[in-house]
Structure 1
Amino acid sequence: MFEAHLPMTRRSLLERSGMGMGALALAGLFHDQESREARAASGADAAVTETEKKPHFPGRVKRVIHFFLNGGPSHVDTFDPKPALEKYAGQPAPVNLTTERKTGAAFPSPFKFQKYGQSGLEISEIFSKTAAHADDIAVIRSMYAHVPNHEPSLMLMNCGDSVQPRPSVGAWVLYGLGTENRNLPGFVAMCPNGLPIKDSENWQSGFLPGVYQGTYVDPRHQLIDKLIENIRSPHATAGMQRRQLDLLRSLNAEHRDVRVDTRLEARIQSFELAFRMQTEAADAFDISKEPKHIQELYGAGVHARQTLIARRLLERGVRYVQLWHGAGQPWDNHSGIESAHRQLAGEIDQPIAALMTDLKQRGMFEDTLIVFGGEFGRTPTVELAGDGKALLGRDHNHYGFSVWLAGGGVRGGTAYGATDEFGFKAVEKPTSPHDLHATILHLLGFDHERLTYRYAGRDFRLTDVHGQVIHEILS
């Protein structure tokens, strides 16, 4: 009598109708997991294999690696040269520049720009190694965000909304495509010195089932127990853990069958994935197995290490890997931008170039998408201290900045859109993060307007009610 009034899942209906054997057979077809239909009936949707999830149309790429430069790198010092700043150096810019903090005269870049490749794409000297791949890179020089503040702009770039926490891009990609490797998380976020963004919204699953949330990894560590928290049990052997999980799974399944609780399904899948990862993850994160010449190609340091790990994850079927840079020392250089940007770029220039070379020689470049950028740019004018003294840095600038893409389906050697002659505001083909997200999903084979999830009575999507695919940067 107690259970009679509770919601009944399709699985429960089958079992109670004397068709339990059919339900068991169906579960077997899905690698011993509950059938996807049964999960959907209870409002849950666990991570599934590649054969179970297909894009809307054949995608040009099947995996993404996203280099995220936390703090706001200066576009006029990296990928958007502005000769006019030299002309007006030390003078007030002849346009009204609205900035968050007090700024002064035009501040020319301390770095030299040079044309690279057959395309002649202009790139700063601090990314000279990456620039060797200029003919593979499409720079969007007309990005804009909503506000000049880090947290909302981080959420906008990573989750498509600057106000309310939403599922991150990686979570949407995993939701749409599933994962090719059931023994590894489909979405990994690596962030050295992860706090305070370790627990941030930027790799969350939001209202999507929890199985699509990014798995946080601190690549400073080499032991798997340190890399991924709580990956091993200090008290139980593998056999004991398997028996414990089987019991827990059966109890949870009983509980779930008479309730609608997506969090419980996510917890079940999380336990199972963690158990399987104990063997496969240890191998995937062990870069000592790479030949010496490959390790030397990527260079030394934690960012070289995490980039090489990322390549190992991608070739093992991980869908979306996000590599954060600037968590400990961000690209938020309000003062001393010359030395700070040179050091920061020096930490990732070689690893990025190495990754592109490595992907090409492994035949993976054509079906991998590389995304590079931060949450906004910086002002073309110099920031001033309270006493009016120049700090030789730049303030936040959300009116115009740069992001670049490379890999499968990208028209390399391309500069799309433009900021004004000083680099302050996007004036030619202004591009929002929604447009960027629509383009990423398009390359993966999705119509961004059709990749939706029903929540709170409406169909949500990554791009909300916005977004246009940037066809001009696609090959």
Structure 2
Amino acid sequence: MQPLPKDKMAHHDDTFKLHSPEFSALNRKLDRRNFLLRSASGLGAMALSSLISSNARGNTLEEQIMKALPSIAPKAKRVVYLFMSGGPSQFETFDYKPKLANLFGQGLPDSVRKGQRLTGMSANQAVLPLVPSAYKFNQYGKTKTWVSDLLPYTAQVVDDLCIVKSMFTEQINHDPAITFFQTGHQLPGRPSIGSWMSYGLGSENQNLPAFIVLVSKDASKDQPLYARLWGNGFLSSEHQGVQFRSGKDPVLFLNNPEGYDGQDRQQMLEYLTKLNQLQNETWGDPEVDARIAQYEMAYRMQTSVPEVMDTSKEPDEVFELYGEGSRDKGTYAANCLLARKLLEKDVRFVQLYHQGWDHHGSLPKGMAHQCKQTDKATAALIIDLKRRGLLEDTLVVWGGEFGRTVYSQGKLTKDDYGRDHHPRCFTMWMAGAGVKSGFSYGETDDFSYNIIKNPVHVHDFQATLLHLMGIDHEQLTYKYQGRRFRLTDVHGQVIKGILA
């Protein structure tokens, strides 16, 4: 279909504006109340115009004002969040419990359990037999931090880590627990943490999204991941996470259709923008502005994405640092390397998902496999960011949705056992901008079943993450269906004890 000539397009525009029923309806809606509301907003917009950057087109006025207001001095410019989906066991990673060696096979004491609920997978077991880790721990670094033998590479960078051993959540099953971590609520529909970052801070690179997601292709798919985990919820769609894939098309529907070239695409977008602008003038829907911004971003990404996805020019020593898997696009190791490139391009929030940590049985074997896939590349990311001067203003986060139980689920031998879900205490770590290095925070009992010092709730973690990026978690809100929502809901405190 040939586009309309410019003279006819102009005539078509005027006719549409003057005679369409939509505009007649819109004019009838401009009563005194709406006029005053819009006038007040207009005056506020003029007062803030000098504070709002020219690239804010596509945001609602509320979003623009939020970005213009003064905030906390940020310690971090960007975040890379390594999400270990399935719930890594704290017993086989960082929470060393040597006293369990003498309690093998004994039942979990009622004084420790304290009547806390169990999942349906172990609630019917007559005995909950205690099981120590099948792997040894050693002390590493200047801080003499205990780390499992499963993580030899992470152990070498332990002096850069801030290990939080006292995380807890109320969610005991995977989907609500992951959703809670990613959105601040156990039920779907809220914006993800990366979307809140995009909404609150915008993008520093106009040719790439502020929020990018990478999913390991080499991970065991024991628990599903849903795109809503990086969705925008009720925020405008420009804030949703964009998944970069390892196939022919890194971003779906980004490349030109067959037979189109760049000029065709540009012309199509120009006319599509005009149509969207007409719709926006008719309805005043901010989502139309977001759609226009996304089309424009997609056009710029046609050039920027192939460049950033190309790791062929990386020297051999970089591939050796991240591990041989880093040459295979889409693997965890390759995604860690790609994450570093995206952070170099000032992408605000990069999220890596690696599934396969849900070990109800054969845990020693499963943990060995998972750690072999991820340990070297995780440590390499820390090393690579540090030597490039990026770690000082980048926050790295590692962790899952909950921990594992001290007792074995099902059969038990010293070399073969499983662990059920445990939300009462588990371990995460952070590294880089704004957090103490070579530091452990929080403490659990001898069974890693209850927290005995410095508990950290999921909302506390989220509040701290926003704080490090220069955002007051109580002020970053969005009004939806008559209520002001925020990532931390009505909870959360900044964990001041881990701040550098």
Counterparts of residues 11-160 of structure 1 (less than 5 Å): 35=57, 39-41=59-61, 56-95=71-110, 96-97=112-113, 98-100=117-119, 101-102=121-122, 104-160=128-184
Matched with 1:244 is: 268
**How far has the Cα of 1:94 moved from its partner?**
2.6
CA distance in 1, matches of 2:414, 2:73: 56
**How far has the Cα of 1:40 moved from its partner?**
2.5
**Cα 1:389–1:440, aligned 2, differ >3 Å: closer, same or farther?**
closer
SS in 2 for 1:65: strand
CA contact (8 A) 1:6 1:259 kept: no
**How far has the Cα of 1:292 moved from its partner?**
1.6
Matched with 2:381 is: 355
Matched with 1:229 is: 252
For the pair 1:333 / 2:353, whether they are aligned, the reply is no
- Equivalent of 2:216, from 175, 192, 195? 192
- Equivalent of 2:239, from 212, 226, 229? 212
Matched with 1:317 is: 346
CA contact (8 A) 2:134 2:415 kept: no
- Equivalent of 1:464, from 482, 489, 494? 489
**Cα 1:249–1:201, aligned 2, differ >3 Å: closer, same or farther?**
same
For the pair 1:294 / 2:318, whether they are aligned, the reply is yes
CA contact (8 A) 1:53 1:178 kept: no
SS in 2 for 1:249: helix
CA distance in 2, matches of 1:295, 1:54: 43
**How far has the Cα of 1:199 moved from its partner?**
3.7
SS in 1 for 2:334: helix
CA contact (8 A) 1:69 1:331 kept: yes
CA contact (8 A) 2:364 2:415 kept: no
Task: Summarize deviations over 1:165-201 as a string: whole Å, max 9, x none.
Answer: 2111111111111111111111011113498855432
**How far has the Cα of 1:440 moved from its partner?**
0.5
CA contact (8 A) 1:401 1:426 kept: no
CA contact (8 A) 2:131 2:414 kept: no
What letter is aligned with 2:277?
A
**How far has the Cα of 1:260 moved from its partner?**
3.6
CA distance in 1, matches of 2:185, 2:80: 21
**Cα 1:81–1:397, aligned 2, differ >3 Å: closer, same or farther?**
same
- Equivalent of 1:345, from 346, 371, 387? 371
- Equivalent of 1:393, from 413, 418, 424? 418
Task: Summarize deviations over 1:270-319 as a string: whole Å, max 9, x none.
Answer: 21111110111101011112122112211122111000000000110100
CA contact (8 A) 1:167 1:204 kept: yes
Give the number of equivalent residue pairs: 447
CA contact (8 A) 1:419 1:428 kept: yes
**Cα 1:34–1:460, aligned 2, differ >3 Å: closer, same or farther?**
closer
SS in 2 for 1:287: coil
**Cα 1:130–1:390, aligned 2, differ >3 Å: closer, same or farther?**
closer
**How far has the Cα of 1:391 moved from its partner?**
6.2
**Contiguous gaps of at least 5 residues in structure 2:** 1-23, 40-45, 326-330
**Cα 1:143–1:34, aligned 2, differ >3 Å: closer, same or farther?**
closer
Matched with 1:20 is: none
**How far has the Cα of 1:390 moved from its partner?**
10
CA contact (8 A) 2:393 2:433 kept: yes
For the pair 1:280 / 2:304, whether they are aligned, the reply is yes
CA contact (8 A) 1:80 1:402 kept: yes
CA distance in 2, matches of 1:73, 1:60: 28
**How far has the Cα of 1:372 moved from its partner?**
0.5
CA distance in 2, matches of 1:140, 1:378: 15
**TM-score of the pair, normalised by structure 2:** 0.83
CA distance in 2, matches of 1:357, 1:415: 20
For the pair 1:203 / 2:230, whether they are aligned, the reply is yes
For the pair 1:172 / 2:201, whether they are aligned, the reply is no
Matched with 2:456 is: 431
CA contact (8 A) 1:7 1:259 kept: no
Task: Summarize deviations over 1:383-441 as a string: whole Å, max 9, x none.
Answer: 116x9999611011111111111101111121111222101122322211100001101
What letter is aligned with 2:429?
W
**Cα 1:382–1:2, aligned 2, differ >3 Å: closer, same or farther?**
closer
Q: Equivalent pairs: percent with the same residue?
A: 38
CA distance in 2, matches of 1:306, 1:148: 29
SS in 1 for 2:165: strand
**TM-score of the pair, normalised by structure 1:** 0.88
What letter is aligned with 1:368?
T
CA contact (8 A) 2:57 2:289 kept: no
**Superposition misfits of 4+ residues, deviation over 3 angstroms:** 6-10, 33-36, 52-55, 95-98, 193-200, 387-391
What letter is aligned with 1:251?
L
CA distance in 1, matches of 2:233, 2:460: 21
CA distance in 2, matches of 1:315, 1:278: 19
SS in 1 for 2:312: helix
CA distance in 2, matches of 1:185, 1:274: 9
**How far has the Cα of 1:35 moved from its partner?**
4.7
Question: Which range moved further: 277-286 or 449-458?
Answer: 449-458
**How far has the Cα of 1:105 moved from its partner?**
1.2
Matched with 2:20 is: none
CA contact (8 A) 1:78 1:124 kept: yes
What letter is aligned with 2:242?
T
CA distance in 1, matches of 2:351, 2:498: 22
**Cα 1:2–1:163, aligned 2, differ >3 Å: closer, same or farther?**
closer
What letter is aligned with 1:94?
P
CA contact (8 A) 1:62 1:367 kept: yes
For the pair 1:308 / 2:337, whether they are aligned, the reply is yes
**Cα 1:176–1:410, aligned 2, differ >3 Å: closer, same or farther?**
same
CA distance in 2, matches of 1:75, 1:278: 42
**Cα 1:421–1:260, aligned 2, differ >3 Å: closer, same or farther?**
farther
What letter is aligned with 2:100?
L
